[in-house]
């Protein structure tokens, strides 16, 4: 048997799905991402959402202004697609450097009230996106109250994703943070213009994690963790070497006081140890050699962006992730806080 490696060096990776928020909370979580990733796709679900090119440019500047001195981190901006996003805005978005629009079905998740009520209402805008080469990033869950929460992703594929692919074959679509075998199989079998991001927490945990020793709000995200068979399918997809699957943390910070409530918002804050968590998942699958493709190569290829220069190194060094971190004037609890992690970023 070969001895497990002590270090792991990767081309500098990117995070293809990230929530940074705004203001002081943003300034406190941003360094966690910037120390690991060269670029990140920044989600637009602020309050109010980022719906115009001008708003995206202003948000981008606030992020750049909040970066630690010397950081060359590059935020890749997105717009929040609504029923009323004007097709004309797509050329302005492209000119402003916006790379994608995010489709939130109305009511599906955190700050999704302004989301899309019926995808057909957005068809003229999707046509303009296809023309401008903007990507569509999809939160793939139906919101129909009659559909079981654990089935919402699978139902989304037949009701929304399949018709969308048929009607816009040239649009590049990322099925974000997939959580089921259904979605992994769908993306693996789709054409080369369909890809998916996968979070570290969906690779490492099944839905039991929500209930260990009691109800655990910091493990609640959307789409919610699924059964073990789905987790395994995600691990197979992520470690398959297929360029359709790449890293997107969906790190989604919420103040601890708001998570630890009778009603808690969805989102797992994984940015502080994102690469370390992915390395655990890939090592457990015997696929550490596939992590670089997933974290650093497949995303840029799909987005049509250059690979990053430079490398990052992970070291096999047990360390304890702090239980609580700063979040503006509040506190935040990272996923796995207070626990020992196997890998540590240099």
Q: Which residues are annotated as catalytic?
A: 250
Say whether residue 141 binds Zn ion (CB under 5 A). no
Residue 8 neighbours by CB under 8 Å, 6+ apart: 279, 288, 291, 313, 314, 343
Considering only the stretches 92-100, 196-204, 260-268, 330-338, report the one whose residues sit in contact with ligand DOR under the rule CB under 6 A.
260-268
Q: How far apart are CA 175 and CA 42, in angstroms?
A: 15
Say whether residue 221 binds ligand DOR (CB under 6 A). yes
Considering only the stretches 75-83, 246-254, 309-317, 319-327, report the one whose residues sit in contact with Zn ion under the rule CB under 5 A.
246-254
Which of 18, 204, 256, 266 binds ligand DOR (CB under 6 A)? It is: 266
Interacting positions 21-80 with Zn ion (CB under 5 A)? none
Q: How far apart are CA 266 and CA 251, in angstroms?
A: 11
Q: How far apart are CA 278 and CA 12, in angstroms?
A: 14
Q: How far apart are CA 50 and CA 62, in angstroms?
A: 13
Judged by CB, which is closer to ligand DOR: 29, or 345? Answer: 29
Judged by CB, which is closer to Zn ion: 11, or 201? Answer: 201
Interacting positions 199-218 with ligand DOR (CB under 6 A)? none
Q: Tell me how far, at minimum, the Cβ of 88 lies from Zn ion, in Å.
A: 27
Pairing between β-strand 311-320 and β-strand 340-345 as defined by DSSP bridges: antiparallel
Residue sitting closest to Zn ion (CB)? 250
Choose among 230, 258, 61: nearest CA to 152. 230
Say whether residue 110 binds ligand DOR (CB under 6 A). yes
Judged by CB, which is closer to ligand DOR: 110, or 317? Answer: 110
Which of 102, 139, 226, 336 binds ligand DOR (CB under 6 A)? It is: 139
Binding partner at 266 among Zn ion, ligand DOR, none, C-beta below 5 to 8 Å by kind: ligand DOR
Q: Tell me how far, at minimum, the Cβ of 250 lies from ligand DOR, in Å.
A: 6
Q: How far apart are CA 287 and CA 238, in angstroms?
A: 9
Considering only the stretches 145-153, 210-218, 219-227, 248-256, report the one whose residues sit in contact with Zn ion under the rule CB under 5 A.
248-256
Say whether residue 250 binds Zn ion (CB under 5 A). yes
Q: Tell me how far, at minimum, the Cβ of 256 lies from ligand DOR, in Å.
A: 14
Residues forming the site for ligand DOR (CB under 6 A): 19, 45, 109-110, 139, 221-222, 252, 265-267
């Amino acid at each position: 048997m070969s001895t497990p490696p002590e270090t792991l060096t990767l081309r500098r990776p990117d995070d293809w799905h990230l929530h940074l928020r705004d203001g002081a909370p943003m300034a406190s979580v941003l360094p966690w991402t910037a120390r690991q990733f060269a670029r990140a796709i920044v989600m637009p679900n602020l309050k109010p959402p980022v719906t115009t090119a001008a708003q995206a440019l202003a948000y981008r500047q606030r992020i750049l202004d909040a970066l630690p001195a010397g950081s060359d981190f590059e935020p890749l901006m997105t717009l929040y697609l609504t029923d009323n996003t004007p097709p004309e805005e797509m050329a302005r978005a492209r000119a402003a450097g916006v790379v994608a629009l995010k489709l939130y079905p109305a009511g599906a998740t955190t700050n999704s009230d302004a989301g899309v009520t019926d995808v057909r209402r957005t068809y003229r805008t999707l046509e303009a996106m296809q023309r401008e080469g903007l990507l569509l990033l999809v939160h793939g869950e139906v919101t129909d109250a009659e559909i079981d929460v654990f089935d919402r992703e699978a139902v989304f594929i037949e009701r929304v994703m399949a018709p969308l692919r048929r009607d816009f074959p040239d649009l590049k679509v990322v099925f974000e943070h997939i959580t089921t075998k259904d979605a992994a199989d769908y993306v693996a079998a789709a054409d080369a213009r369909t890809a998916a991001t996968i979070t570290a927490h969906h690779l490492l945990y099944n839905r039991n994690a929500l209930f260990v020793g009691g109800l655990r709000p910091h493990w609640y995200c959307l789409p919610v963790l699924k059964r073990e068979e789905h987790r395994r399918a995600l691990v197979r997809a992520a470690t398959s070497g297929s360029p359709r699957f790449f890293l997107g943390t969906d790190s989604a910070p919420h103040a601890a006081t708001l998570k630890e409530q009778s009603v808690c918002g969805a989102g797992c804050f994984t940015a502080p140890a994102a690469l370390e968590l992915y390395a655990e998942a890939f090592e457990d699958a015997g696929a550490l050699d596939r992590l670089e493709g997933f974290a650093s190569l497949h995303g840029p290829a799909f987005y049509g962006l250059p690979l990053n220069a430079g490398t990052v190194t992970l070291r096999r060094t047990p360390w304890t992730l702090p239980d609580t971190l700063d979040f503006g004037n509040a506190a935040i609890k990272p996923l796995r806080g207070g626990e020992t992690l196997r890998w540590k970023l240099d």
